[in-house]
Structure 1
Amino acid sequence: MWLNKSYNKLHGLPLYEPKPKSKISASRRLFLKTKLVKKAMAMLMAEKEQKVIDRESTLSERVPGLNLSGLSVQDLQTLCKELHQKIDVVDEERYDIAMKVSKSDAEIENLTMKIIELKGKKRPQLKRVRVSAEAMMGALLGAKIKESVDFKANLKTVKKEEEKKEEVTDWRKNVDAMSGMEGRKKMFAAS
């Protein structure tokens, strides 16, 4: 029951505070959401276009356009040799970088294995196996006991104490004996 804060606090109930009503109407909220989504889409498109422009500028900077018009065969052959040499240099750099990456990956894998070993051995998930009580006791005790185990024989025995029952006698005799001064003397003498 959600009454009020003081009642709930007094009786140990969880405090319930209803959500305050928003100051913006639902239609206004929907309008703002759609506007935000449109703005985000426009920003994504602008970012993609900027990436394309950046790529084209870096490619034109690193690889200038070839001007092949007016070159002789000898000049074209020297240009091809220069381009092949540049390709070889780039391939060597790519290979070196790939080797560094593979070495660092192997080192990372080795370090993660060491971390796992330091944390503790990975234990496989145990599967549920049905085992009878006799098979379980045989596995636990080994070759000590091969016959079936009598669990009741191993239990402690407890002796019950018998309660002393008073003899039921004729109540009239008891009343006669306790009547008068003699009966009262017997009661005080007994206690």
Structure 2
Amino acid sequence: MPVPSIEVDSDVDEIPASKIRPKPLINMPVIGISSDESEESDSESEVEDVMTAEEEAAARRYLSGGAEVEQRRPSSLDVYLSQPQQKTESMIINRRLSMREEQEQIAKMNADEMERNEEEERRKKLEKEREAVRKERESKAAVKGSSDIAQSPSPRRIAYHKRGFGGLSRERRKKLKEIIMRKAKEELRAETMKEMQKRENHLKSVLPPFNIDSLNEKQLHELLKSWHKQAKELEEQRIDLEERIRRQDEEISELTMKLVDIKGKYHMPILRKVPKRENIVARLERLRELNAMHVIKPAVSLKSVSKSMEVGAAKSELVNGIRE
């Protein structure tokens, strides 16, 4: 098939491709591109029109051929331009608000840091307590093992291990002691206040309130005489009570001396711990068996004497071959 030939006129200048633009389908606003002379004339006459963001985006779509393509995917620039622009507020204007927010944030961070530190301290303290309890258990187990090895194989021997106050650790015992002492102080304070209140009530009952402003000289003399008489009676009662208390103390001391003379002075023996009920039953059974053996064979209770002891007794009777 013959190929058609195309004749090109060499005299005609070629138009550069970059200057060829498609014919616009819609009327677009004129982009502000002009020469130096036009800029000078426009600046003298009137201010140039500035394109908005939407017009600039439409112009760029037109230049890129977006008018001929339907349903083109929006670019990131289109998305950015379509979003409402936020106004940037100066930090100098809103400095007080920013400082308050910054202080709140710093306070929150400090609170979180303190909470973390407290949690870490509690965790470390708990770990120390657990470690101390573990070591104490290991030491007790080691002591128990050594005592089991050292003790005799007799099944009747019972090993008693001393335990602490309720199985509490040193810190818990200290805390319990502090609680008990605090409670005792509170009770003592309450008892002291109660005694003071009783004393005030007694004084009010014995010495009622009086008013001497409206009394004359004779009435004052009578009031003083009555008070003197009342003071003498109270002093007599005090002396009688002291004498009664002294006699009671003497009687108590005499009775104590008599009790000591009757009972005598001696040291209390060391009390042994009572074994379990099973061991008591076994011991009673063994004693019953021994009693039965004594009844059957009375010679069981006799003490055996060795031959060397008999020879020593015979020699003691002779002194230089002469019988004493």
TM-score, with structure 1 as normaliser: 0.45
TM-score, with structure 2 as normaliser: 0.29
Higher relative contact order (CA 8 A, sep 6+): 2
Greater Rg over alpha carbons, structure: 2
